[in-house]
Amino acid sequence: MKSVSRVALLLAALVPALALAHGVAGGDAAYVASSRGVNVFPFMYLGAKHMVTGYDHLLFLAGVIFFLYRLKDVALYVTLFAIGHSTTLLAGVLGGIHANAYIVDAIIGLSVAYKAFENLGGFRRLGWQLDTRAAVLGFGFVHGFGLATKLQELSLSPDGLAANLVSFNVGVELGQLAALGIILLAFNFWRRSRTFLSGAWTANVLIMAAGFVLIGYQLAGYWRGA
C-alpha cells in the first residue's frame, strides 16, 4: 500500500506535464500557427508526435486493451476510438465548433478513470451493464474534440488547412498504432508472468487515480478562468 501511495503522489506531481502533453505547444505550436499552404509530411509528423506523447490518450487506450487478448478485439476497439477521434478533430476545427477546453479535458480525464473502474469490475458490482463499444466510441469523440480545442487556439491559416488537418490526423493514427504496438508487446510479456493478475489490480487503480487527478487539474483551471 505504501508503494501505491508513493506512485499516486508522483502522479499528482506530474499531472501538469501530463495535461500539457495533450496539446500542441512550444515550437510545434509556432510552426502550426505560421504554416501556410499544404505541408503534408510535417503535419503527419506532428500528429504522430502528439499521439506518442499524449499520455491521456495512451492511458485510456491502455485501459481499453488491458484485458483484450484477441487481436480482432483490439482492432475493433482501436478502430472505434480512431473513428471518434478523427471525426471530432476534423469537424471541430473545420466546422468551427467550440467548447471550453478545460471541460473537454476534464471529460478526457473521466474517460481514463471510467475505463480503469470498469477493468476493476466496478460497474459489475454496481449491477450496471454498459456497452463498452459505445463508450469507447463516445470517448473517442471527446478525445478528438479535446485536440480540436487546442488547435483552435492557434489561429490557423485557412490556406491548406483541410489537407494539413487530414495529414495531421493520419499522423495521429500512425502514432497510435506505433504506441499500441509497444503497449501490446509489454502486456503480452507481462501476461506470461505470475504477477499479472495481482499487478493488474494495482495498475488499474493507478490509472484510475491518474484520471481523477487529471479531472481535478482541469476543473481547477476552469474555475480559475471563470
CB 68 within 8 A of CB 136: no
What is the distance between the alpha carbons of residues 79 and 76, in angstroms, rounded to a whole number?
A: 5
Q: What secondary structure letter does DSSP report for 70?
A: S
- For residue 134, give its domain range: 2-225
pLDDT for 174: 92
pLDDT for 134: 96
Q: Across the chain, what does the average pLDDT equal?
A: 86
**Helix axis angle, 55-65 to 71-94, nearest 10°:** 150
Q: Across residues 174-198, what is the average pLDDT?
A: 91
* Nearest CA among 102, 22, 17 for reference residue 60: 22
Query: Is residue 2 scored above 90 in pLDDT?
Result: no
pLDDT for 158: 86
pLDDT for 22: 56
What is the distance between the alpha carbons of residues 77 and 101, in angstroms, rounded to a whole number?
A: 25
Query: Is residue 16 scored above 70 in pLDDT?
Result: no
pLDDT for 7: 44
pLDDT for 167: 93
Kindly state the percentage of the chain with pLDDT values over 70. Answer: 88
What is the total count of domains within the chain? 1
85-115: string of b/e by CB count within 10 Å (b at 16+)?
A: bbbbbbebbeeeeeeebbebbbbbbbbbbbb
66-101 per-position pLDDT tens digit: 999 998 999 999 999 999 999 999 999 999 888 999
Helix then strand count (H, E) for the chain reads 10, 0
pLDDT tier for residue 26 given thresholds of 50, 70 and 90: low
101-118 per-position pLDDT tens digit: 999 999 999 999 999 999
pLDDT for 52: 84
Provide the grid cell at 26. Answer: 512550444
pLDDT tier for residue 208 given thresholds of 50, 70 and 90: very high
pLDDT for 54: 83
Q: Across residues 177-202, what is the average pLDDT?
A: 91
pLDDT for 223: 92
